[in-house]
Amino acid sequence: MKPDILPISELEKMEKPEKIATLQTYRAHYTIKDLSQAWGFNNPIQYYMWLKKQNIYEQLVRRADKFDPSKEWKRMRETDGREAERIPVKGLPADQFRYGLDTDSTGPELAHVFRRLSEFLLNENGYFRCRIELKALPQQTASQPEWKEEDAGA
């Protein structure tokens, strides 16, 4: 049986070990998207930002959940199989990958993504091709920006 998700204000009042245990229970039963929606976050990146503000990010985000090219490679292969209009990535050795991002986000949210990529690249000795287009969008007043899934083939 799934535990009820407490309001974020109640979680913030908990002691650090109790907060970590509660969030680990939630993660066993809910997706990050479910938790983000329950707490009124605009997208999952805000969940990770909240963990950092609470100083519990490292205890809750497993190494496997951080940016990992092998996970990205697997996701891309699955996407290529489903979407015929995409250029297939077949033929790349297993140690190569592509990472793409197509989203309308706030500056802090994008900074978080770029920080994760930067941490990954610090440990890589190979050469990479990178194309980045960043442009300001008009302020949105009626609705919040919508989270879009990452797009393969950057």
* pTM for this model (two decimals): 0.43
Round to whole Å and give the CA distance between 121 and 133. 19
Q: Which two tokens stand for residue 87?
A: 């250029």
C-alpha triplet 61, 55, 36: angle, nearest 5°: 55
In the prediction, which pLDDT does 87 show?
47
What number of helices (H) and strands (E) belong to the chain? 7, 0
DSSP code for 41: -
Give me the mean pLDDT over the 9-20 stretch.
Answer: 94
Q: Is 54 helix (H, G, I), strand (E, B) or coil?
A: coil
pLDDT tier at 88 (50, 70, 90 boundaries)? very low
CB atoms within 10 A of CB 41: 20
Give me the mean pLDDT over the 100-104 stretch.
Answer: 75
